[in-house]
Structure 1
Amino acid sequence: MGKITVKHYLNKRLKPDNNGNDKIYPLYLSILYDRMSIRTPSAINAIWEDLTEKDFENKKFRKELLFKMKYEINLIERSVKKFIEDENVRQLRKDLGKVYPGKKYRSKNERLNILNTYIDYYTHSIFDVVSNELLKRIRNAVLNKLSNNFNELDLFDEYKLQDLFYYNNPVLYNIIVKYNLGKEYELYFIIWSRFHDYLSVQGKKYGYDMPYIDWIEGKGQKLFAEYLKTYTRHTDKWEKNFFTDEKILTSINIINEIINSHDYFDKLINRF
């Protein structure tokens, strides 16, 4: 396996902003492997202000920012290794560019383009597919039940129905309970809600919400499981231990089933 080199740098080719006398440039990534080079914006820029040239050169990073940079480097390195593994057995995928159809892979080096798509694919967030699938299951069950209760369905016009299917909507949860859709759908709703909330927490800490490669390599499950242990909800009392070990395992398995489904890639490229 050839050497993989991933480094952060300030893109000084772009026009800087100013912070007093200091110039501020956006943070970029330099990715080198087997004489192929990719330069791309760091995902960290989405949530952290740009670094001053002086701070970057003196390596004066906040601990939180340094943690994100190290995590991002490791994430890219692992994604490049996926490319290497497939190339070694002559099974490179050439369809991964469909994940971000608006992104143009324009290098004359087709191998470099494929490497770029591998990085994008393995670092993509599983959020959209998981959220869409849980919503579909809940929506289908609720609408089917409401369609058999016309008086109840009449209370919802088209716009109210759109507002109903919101991940933290207590009205939706109450409908699931009221019509006895079952503990399975109650759990779908709570996982859906927790997954939304958790990803903002992970994004702030890691700079990425839930990369695909973290989940398929077993890291994502551990992070989400730890978060579920902190969950509380209000019924007739505060129930601090709703997520037992058994429910946590069931929740992780539900997401695993979505991620490992044969049509995951189709759901991913049709997520919007």
Structure 2
Amino acid sequence: MKAIAFVDYENIWTGLLERGYELTPEQLEEYLRYYAARNKVDLLAIYLYANFDREEFWRTQTTFQKTNVFTRHVFGKNNYASTGLRHNAADLELMLEAQEILLTRTSTFDMYLLLTGDGDFLPFVRKVRAWGKEVKVIGVTGSVHHALQPYSEGEDILQWLLHEKPETEYRAENDLDQGIQVIGSLQTRLPYVASTKARAALAELLGRSVPQVKDFIRYTLKENMLIEQEHLDSNLKIGKTKIYLLNLENPRVCEALGSMFEEVSQRQQKLMMET
């Protein structure tokens, strides 16, 4: 049986995140290959739809493309205002492309694999089935709309993750020295360290996931190693942003910074004078 997979990535990713798991591009591709092998399905192509402007999906589009997934970037809205708001934009793009394939390449496939839990796809599922094609819905337990459940047959990405990819507990303490140095380096190079910039740098340089970076930030704030405050910036549309400063009175911070301490201290003093 020949199949084409369509992935409502933000829906699946969010459903897993709410249960404490962050799905990586490699895991998603591996799961689909596993499903195809187990069910003796010839998986012809994977189409994936998401707003890759989201901070959480930083660089994932490139990773997906390296694993032969056809990605479709669907912007959602302006980050600072409601201008350009597009409700259900990814859903619409997915359904339009899937219907185009249904109409123009009908004989090339037998089944659609639809990765989502969104009940808005029910009319689409009925339309595809009316054309004589099978539709299998794959979602996350607790996040699949009741209208789609008859088509899901119990397929659940979360259960596969729990069985195949047991999570090891993340300990922020193991990243303290390097994480402090990353933030310190940012403070010496930038006018200020915006929270989004800090999280992106920590994810890249520590090799950690977004939830793990958030755990690291929470830990350093709780242990009084990091200071979070609002910073006014007239160059921004909203006029302000959240920034991070290292607490230079904390002994662990001083030790981790080493020779970088004086420069970081000078930059912080300059920033305080400007505000």
Please indicate the TM-score interval, normalised by the length of the shorter structure.
under 0.3
Q: Could you say which structure has the higher helix fraction? A: 1
Task: Give the alignment's TM-score, normalised by structure 1.
Answer: 0.21
